[in-house]
Amino acid sequence: MTDSSNVIDPSKPSIARVYDYLLGGKDYYPVDQEIGDHFKNNLPGSVVIATSNRQVLVRAVGELARSGLRQFIDLGSGLPTADNVHQVAQRHGPDAKVAYIDNDPIVLAHGRALLEADEQSVVIQADVRDPKTIREHPDLTRLIDFDEPVAVIFSAILHHLNDDEDPADIVRFWSDQIPSGSAVFISHFRSGHNAETEAVEAKLQSTFGRGRWRTDEEIAALFGDLEILDPGIVAVPQWRPDPIERPTAVRELTVWEQLIVAGLARKP
Ligand SMILES: C[S@@+](CC[C@H](N)C(=O)[O-])C[C@H]1O[C@@H](n2cnc3c(N)ncnc32)[C@H](O)[C@@H]1O
């Protein structure tokens, strides 16, 4: 299965470009801005959700690299932005290797430009719903040694899969591929059980045909049998906050900050 066209179509909105717009990037078209503005107007916390998601990803990759992980597979990686996974990982472990996977051709184009001189990173255009093809991709098998621990990252990607696409099965596929000591990181939209999140979910469905805001129980189930590490699955500002930002661990979060959660698990 692939719906990974090689053509960048500026007339149709793209998840990667809308997200870039919300993050304050510059790689979007008017059609993406229109959707991004819809989110901002109807879910005023959209920018906070996007930026706090990037921040937790940076913290998680930093922790993993400091703990000795040297291989990362970033599924639904998005457009290059301020602090990318390979930059964070290589800051803590210069020999760290990163495979970026995304089905949007704009990610491939920008990723290749960014990674031209980096032999420890690749960007592969592929569909996360087809994990077997990704696993067998020659660029992945050349870079990643599946006999050594691997961190598999699902950052703000699984909520772009509908239930009938069985995101838990995709996580299970990768958990089965990686050896003991490996890690799985997931961040995911959390259902607010309110009119605002339901309206945005409906907008995602009508625009992209996908988008699921899941409950804490549903998100926990995505980890399957993996051992979820402290502090569990929590709102992203509360997931191992940076010492300088530590007050977010104790202060009451805004309603927006509670709409995206993260968790990290180890394969025993
Ligand atoms: C919200 S962005 C998250 C980007 C990045 N992981 C982060 O957390 O900052 C979601 C990304 O997933 C990609 N994506 C959505 N569906 C996908 C699929 N079926 N296969 C591969 N990538 C997909 C989009 O193109 C987009 O770049």
DSSP assignment of 128-171: TT-HHHHHH-HHHHHH--TTS--EEEEES-GGGS-GGG-HHHHH
Q: Cα separations (Å) of 8 from 12, 14, 28?
A: 9, 9, 11
Encoded tokens for 5:
């066209």
Q: Mean of the pLDDT values across residues 170-180?
A: 98
Q: Bigger pLDDT: 57 or 6?
A: 57
**63 Cβ below 6 A of ligand 1:** no
pLDDT, tens digit (0-9, with 9 covering 90-100), for 17-75: 999 999 999 999 999 999 999 888 888 888 988 999 999 999 999 999 999 999 999 99
Which of 126, 152, 130 shows the shortest CA–CA distance to 139? 126
**Is 53 in contact with 236 (CB distance < 8 Å)?**
yes
Q: Cα separations (Å) of 14 from 1, 33, 60?
A: 19, 10, 26
Pocket test for ligand 1, best of 103, 125, 236 (most atoms within 8 A of CB): 103
Encoded tokens for 183:
């890690």
Pocket test for ligand 1, best of 3, 14, 15 (most atoms within 8 A of CB): 15
Query: Of the spans 73-82, 146-155, 201-210, which averages the highest pLDDT?
Result: 146-155
Helix (H) / strand (E) containing 202: helix 195-208
- Taking each continuous run of H as one helix and of E as one strand, the counts in the chain are 10, 8
pLDDT of residue 1: 41
Going from the Cα of 194 to the center of ligand 1, the distance in angstroms, rounded, reads: 25
- Name the closest-CA residue to atom 12, ligand 1: 76
How far is residue 238's CA from residue 253's CA, in Å, rounded to a whole number? 9
Atom of ligand 1 nearest to the CA of 210: 16
Q: Cα separations (Å) of 189 from 107, 179, 215?
A: 22, 28, 9
How far is residue 249's CA from residue 139's CA, in Å, rounded to a whole number? 40
**Is 267 in contact with 180 (CB distance < 8 Å)?**
yes
How far is residue 173's CA from residue 175's CA, in Å, rounded to a whole number? 6
Q: Cα separations (Å) of 146 from 70, 87, 88, 151, 231?
A: 12, 22, 21, 11, 27
How far is residue 152's CA from residue 74's CA, in Å, rounded to a whole number? 6
Tell the burial category of 172 from Cβ atoms under 10 Å away from its Cβ (0-12, 13-18, 19+): middle
Encoded tokens for 252:
């009451």
**Is 123 in contact with 77 (CB distance < 8 Å)?**
yes
Question: Which letter does DSSP use for residue 183 in this model?
Answer: E
Per-residue pLDDT band for 4 (boundaries 50, 70, 90) equals: low
2 pLDDT higher than 50: no
